[in-house]
Amino acid sequence: MTERGSTRDRFISPVTMNRAVTTGRQNESPLSQRASPVKRQRTQKRFQDGPFDTLEGALRAATSFAGADVEKLCKKDTQTRAGNERVDVYRCPFGDRVGWQRCRWTVNVVYGPSGFHLELPTEHSPHERVSGQAERLPPLSTAVKSIVDKDAIEGVPPWKTMRKLADARLAEPSDAVRKQVYNRRYACKQERHDGIGGPGKTFYELKEYVESLPSPPRDDTQAFCLASSLDPNDDYFAFFSCLSLLRNHADSTILVGDFTHNLSWVGIPTLLLGTHSRKGSFQLLSVGYSSREDSVHVEAGMRGIVNWCERL
How far apart are the C-alpha atoms of 309 and 221, rounded to whole Å? Answer: 15
Residue 173 inside a domain? The answer is yes
Residue 59 inside a domain? The answer is yes
Same structural domain, 304 and 222: yes
Same structural domain, 222 and 260: yes
Residue 263 inside a domain? The answer is yes
Per-residue pLDDT of the chain in tens (312 residues, 90 and over written 9): 444 544 444 444 444 334 443 444 444 445 444 555 555 555 667 777 878 888 888 888 888 877 754 467 888 888 888 888 899 999 888 877 777 788 888 889 999 888 898 888 888 888 777 777 666 677 788 888 889 988 888 888 888 899 999 898 888 888 888 888 888 888 887 666 544 545 556 777 788 888 888 877 888 888 999 889 888 777 889 999 999 888 887 777 888 888 876 665 666 788 899 888 888 788 889 998 888 888 888 899 999 999 888 887
pTM of the model as a whole? 0.39
Same structural domain, 273 and 231: yes
Residue 6 inside a domain? The answer is no
In terms of C-beta distances under 8 Å and separation of at least 24 residues, what long-range contacts does 83-91 make, across chains too?
A: 85/110, 85/111, 85/112, 86/110, 86/111, 87/111, 90/59, 90/62
Residue 35 inside a domain? The answer is no
Same structural domain, 221 and 304: yes
Task: Report how many domains make up the chain.
Answer: 3
How far apart are the C-alpha atoms of 41 and 35, rounded to whole Å? Answer: 18
Same structural domain, 114 and 147: no
Same structural domain, 226 and 289: yes
Contact, 46 vs 62, CB < 8 A? no
User: Which residues form the domain of 234?
Assistant: 214-311
Q: Between 142-154 and 175-192, two packed helices, what is the crossing angle to 10 degrees?
A: 60
**Strand 224-229 versus strand 270-276 pairing type:** unpaired
Residue 29 inside a domain? The answer is no
How far apart are the C-alpha atoms of 75 and 247, rounded to whole Å? Answer: 48
Same structural domain, 171 and 242: no
